[in-house]
């Protein structure tokens, strides 16, 4: 069942989503070669708890960490580890926050300089795909309009692999609600979008094949061909003429620019 939020509920979701954004910005400020993803996860959990909130992901269906940190060929749901990051790595960090009864969800891919040109393009196109999808997230359209816009840009225009097995979703009192929001599909298909529906749009785009495999941990999803992947996500509220983006990349990109260890094309 698709839950339409009240204006008051949307503002509570915004608060959670913006705390996710602040958490990602905090991690961007310390991200560098030599740091481990376990250290990043610890900092994220401490930051969220210090803001009187709870990491949405920790213990969700048995997931043991506060964040999903997926490096290079890991698409999503990567386990934080004690392995040190190195120059050239792509680091996708996905964070969820639960506060005041509602979840927020966002993700961002960082590149540790120097980043290969093909990986720079992958990051740029994935982020563009997200924003192009959001442009279609208006009342009266359908989920397929969002999905098709993402697929057209990433797959048909730039010939990257659009992951099929993992999708965006509704967000609210539950971390994952209806409707599912695939990153591929047909215009005019799927549930109709209505005012105050809140969804997470999250393109997961691969440099090579769209096909993925699962690690033995049962969570980490990797590209089948071992090529790199990128992932960006916003929590958005459906409105009549333009979607209201409840999360933000603003502070993240500021930290990205200020951190010499990170690639930034802003």
Q: How many C-beta atoms surround the C-beta of residue 242 within 10 A?
A: 11
Cα angle 70, 51, 7; round to 5? 90
Mean pLDDT (the chain, rounded): 98
CA distance 133 to 147: 7
Domain boundaries, the chain: 7-258
**pLDDT score, position 227:** 98
Q: Is the pLDDT of residue 203 over 80?
A: yes
The predicted-structure confidence for 49-78, as pLDDT tens digits, reads as follows 999 999 999 999 999 999 999 999 999 999
The predicted-structure confidence for 107-129, as pLDDT tens digits, reads as follows 999 999 999 999 999 999 999 99
CA atoms within 13 A on the CB side of 94: 28
Q: Sheet holding 74-76: strands in order across?
A: 74-76, 221-223, 212-214
Q: Is the pLDDT of residue 19 over 90?
A: yes
Q: Report the percentage of the chain scoring pLDDT > 90.
A: 99
**pLDDT score, position 214:** 97
**What is the pTM (predicted TM-score) of this model?**
0.98
- pLDDT (mean) for 237-249: 98
Is CATH 3.30.750.24 the right assignment for the domain spanning 7-258? no
Q: Is the pLDDT of residue 266 over 80?
A: no
The predicted-structure confidence for 164-191, as pLDDT tens digits, reads as follows 999 999 999 999 999 999 999 999 999 9
Q: Which residues contact 156 (CB under 8 A, 6 or more apart)?
A: none
The predicted-structure confidence for 124-169, as pLDDT tens digits, reads as follows 999 999 999 999 999 999 999 999 999 999 999 999 999 999 999 9
**pLDDT score, position 248:** 98
For the stretch 49-53, contacts whose Cβ atoms lie closer than 8 Å and that sit 24 or more positions apart, written own/partner, are 51/19, 51/22, 51/99, 52/99, 53/16, 53/19, 53/97, 53/98, 53/99
């Amino acid at each position: 069942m698709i839950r339409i939020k009240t204006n008051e509920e949307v503002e509570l979701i915004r608060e959670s989503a913006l705390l996710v954004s602040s958490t990602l910005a905090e991690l961007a400020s310390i991200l560098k070669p030599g740091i481990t993803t376990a250290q990043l996860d610890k900092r994220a959990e401490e930051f969220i708890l210090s803001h009187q909130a709870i990491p949405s992901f920790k213990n969700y269906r048995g997931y043991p960490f506060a964040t999903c940190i997926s490096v290079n060929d890991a698409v999503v749901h990567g386990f934080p580890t004690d392995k040190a990051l190195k120059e050239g790595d792509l680091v996708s960090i996905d964070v969820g926050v639960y506060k005041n009864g509602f979840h927020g969800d966002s993700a961002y891919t960082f590149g540790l300089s120097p980043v290969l040109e093909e990986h720079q393009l992958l990051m740029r196109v994935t982020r563009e795909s997200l924003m192009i999808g959001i442009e279609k997230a208006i009342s009266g359209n359908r989920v397929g309009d969002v999905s098709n816009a993402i697929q057209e840009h990433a797959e048909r225009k730039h010939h990257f692999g659009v992951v099929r097995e993992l999708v965006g979703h509704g967000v609210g009192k539950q971390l994952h609600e209806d409707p599912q929001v695939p990153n591929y599909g047909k215009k005019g298909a799927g549930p109709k979008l209505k005012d105050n529906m809140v969804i997470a749009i999250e393109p997961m785009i691969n440099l090579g094949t769209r096909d993925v495999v699962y690690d033995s941990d049962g969570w980490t999803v990797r590209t089948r061909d071992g090529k790199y992947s990128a992932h960006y996500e916003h929590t958005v509220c459906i409105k009549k003429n333009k979607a209201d983006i409840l999360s933000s990349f603003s502070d993240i990109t500021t930290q990205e620019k200020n951190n010499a260890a990170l690639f930034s094309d802003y």
